[in-house]
Amino acid sequence: LSESGVPQLVQPMIWDYAADLDVESKVQLVEKYQRCGFSKVWFASAFKGATGVNQSLTLIGHHLKNHLQWMKVASSSPAEVLEGIVLTGWQRYDHFSVLCELLPVAIPSLAVCLQALKNGGYSEKIKEDVEKLLGMSNLEIDTFMR
Mean pLDDT by runs of 10 across the 146 residues of the chain is 92 97 97 96 96 87 97 96 96 84 93 97 96 93 74
- Nearest CA to 83 out of 133, 25, 33 is that of 33
Report the pLDDT value the prediction gives residue 93, as an integer from 0 to 100: 81
pLDDT score of 18? 96
Q: Which residues make Cβ contacts (< 8 Å) with residue 44, sequence separation at least 6? A: 13, 14, 15, 16, 85, 86, 88
Inter-residue contact 133 to 114 (CB < 8 Å): no
pTM: 0.92
Q: What are the domain boundaries of the chain?
A: 2-134
